[in-house]
Amino acid sequence: MDSLPTNKPVRSHIINMRHMEPAERLAAVCTAAHLGQQEGAFFSGEGVLPLHIANGMIENVIGKFELPLGIATNFIVNGKEYLVPMVVEEPSVVAAASYMAKLAAQGGGFSARAEQPIMRAQIQVLGVTDPFGAKQRLLEHKESLIEKANSRDKVLIDLGGGCKDVEVHIFENSPVGPMVVMHILVDVRDAMGANTVNTMAEMLAPDVERITGGKVRLRILSNLADLRIVRAKVELEPSVMDTKMYSGADVCRGMVEACALAIVDPYRAATHNKGIMNGIDPVVVATGNDWRAIEAGAHAYAARNGHYTSLTRWEMAANGKMVGTIELPMALGLVGGATKTHPAAQAALRLLKVSSASELSEVVATVGLAQNMAAIRALATEGIQRGHMTLHARNIAITAGASGPDIDRIAKALADSGDVSVTHAKRLIGKD
């Protein structure tokens, strides 16, 4: 791989990007991000993931499954510009993120901050006759437990990470009787951290049994990474949201009202949060991270107070600006898992030019916020179908049998007619 300076600023706005051919776009992205030819080849070349590497990643491999990789433009987070790689099968997601980032850039972009990368692992202890006594004994042994947890992963300790604390939770009335659950809180630095904390939890189990007098059963991380929270924010003058049909003030009011429904109603919150994950998952996938872990953490966090609710808030501030915020756990790595083994994931990280897992989390949360902004802006005004179906029309044209230049021609005719359906597309192609 080319050795690349990560400190050269990226230009996140690429003029006319949407009208380019994929090869032209790739060249423009590489120029804007100062990536070499070899790096670019990891995004588009044949055999980007060689079969022998794929075969080393999971079991019973017979091939590879490809998805489109698009680049969201215009992102500014904490004053730094980013071109954001997104791997996703759904149309309008990349366009929507790019559009909202473009609007946000008028006010200086987004701000974001990740907390320390602390993960939890749980050690479940059963058969303890005195759970409260056991809790106290475990806490009395806190220092030696932490020391033992940190005795193995020298690399992590040298990086400033490692086990930092111990918590003990008691469930007096579980279906199988009283239960003591010890948590270890581990700073995993630039790893997602699952394997790291699982190893520590398994190592501590015999000590926990000796101290509590109980039987250890599960030893595994929690995906509710509630100490590894990331927050992102955007503040906008309402006039930024002006459209041909609606005043910015009206759009903002509609967005605040749309968010209010997601706050109070789990039926709406599920869809609202799905829209947020439309932005988050594609970046998580592109960087080789574990999107199931991110999904599990996000939804568990959304339900943490016993009521499933929105991961974002949209409000009007006293100064007249609209303020959008997002808060959720974000267990991402720059090392570990597939981040280092998948060549395209490595290239994606180099395109992003993030220097820590925390910085990656800040960008990913921001894309989630931007995606939510796009969805509720559309929903609160003209509705989702015009923008979404116009872009989905190319999929429909392909499904109906169009190929080559016919795809765009049929897609445009579908979008212009307002009837974006396979039946209509087949009629236009002359197949019906």
Ligand X SMILES: NC(=O)C1=CN([C@@H]2O[C@H](COP(=O)(O)OP(=O)(O)OC[C@H]3O[C@@H](n4cnc5c(N)ncnc54)[C@H](OP(=O)(O)O)[C@@H]3O)[C@@H](O)[C@H]2O)C=CC1
Ligand Y SMILES: CC(C)(COP(=O)([O-])OP(=O)([O-])OC[C@H]1O[C@@H](n2cnc3c(N)ncnc32)[C@H](O)[C@@H]1OP(=O)([O-])[O-])[C@@H](O)C(=O)NCCC(=O)NCCSC(=O)C[C@@](C)(O)CC(=O)[O-]
Binding site for ligand X (CB under 6 A): 153, 155-156, 159, 161, 188-196, 198, 221, 223, 290, 293, 333, 335-337
- Give catalytic status of residue 388 as yes or no: yes
Closest distance of CB 330 from ligand X, Å: 13
Contact positions with ligand Y (CB under 6 A) in 364-403: 374-376, 378-379, 384, 387-388, 391
Looking at beta carbons only, is 99 or 301 nearer to ligand Y?
99
DSSP states along 210-236: HHHSSEEEEEEE-S--TTSEEEEEEEE
Smallest separation (angstroms) from ligand X to the CB of 410 = 41
Q: Is 257 a catalytic residue?
A: no
Could you say which residues in the range 245-274 bind ligand Y, by CB under 6 A?
A: 271-272, 274
Q: How far is the CB of 47 from ligand X (least distance, A)?
A: 23
Number of Cα atoms under 13 Å in the Cβ half of residue 84: 37
Token code pair at residue 279: 């932005």
Q: Which of 13, 142, 164, 274 is catalytic?
A: 274
Site for ligand Y in 81-120 (CB under 6 A): 90, 92-93, 95-96, 98-99, 102
Per annotation, catalytic residue among 80, 90, 209, 321? 90
In the bound state with ligand X, the residue whose beta carbon lies nearer, of 293 and 407, is 293
- Binding ligand Y (rule: CB under 6 A), the pick from 122, 222, 278, 309 is 278
Strands 118-126 and 215-221, by their bridges, are antiparallel
Q: Annotated catalytic, 290?
A: yes
Which three-class secondary structure state does DSSP give residue 311?
Answer: coil
If the CB atoms of residues 90 and 167 are measured against ligand Y, the closer one turns out to be 90
Minimum distance from residue 415 beta carbon to ligand Y (Å): 10
Q: Which two tokens stand for residue 177?
A: 């009787």
- Looking from the CA of 117 toward its CB, the CA atoms found within 13 Å total 26
- 101 vs 248: CA distance, rounded Å: 16
Contact 52, 240 (CB under 8 A): no
Using the minimum distance from each CB to ligand Y, give the nearer residue, 180 or 375: 375
Of 34, 141, 299, 388, which is the active-site residue?
A: 388
The H or E element spanning position 180 is strand 177-187
Identify the sign of the CA torsion 377, 81, 95, 190. Answer: negative
Residue number of the CB atom closest to ligand X: 336
Only one residue has tokens 């987070």, namely 77
Q: Residue 145 Cβ, how far from ligand X at the closest point, in Å?
A: 18
Distance CA 248, CA 252 (A): 6
Binding partner of 233, given ligand Y, ligand X, none, CB within 5-8 angstroms per partner class: none
From the candidates 81, 187, 190, 290, give the one annotated as an active-site residue.
290
**Residue 424 is among the residues annotated as catalytic for this protein:** no
Instruction: Please identify, using beta-carbon distances, which residue of 167 and 419 lies nearer to ligand Y.
Output: 419
What mask, x for binding ligand Y by CB under 6 A, covers residues 318 to 357?
----------------------------------------
Residue with smaller CB distance to ligand Y, 128 or 373 = 373
Strand ranges (DSSP E) for 277-364?
312-316, 322-329
Which residue numbers are catalytic? 90, 274, 290, 388
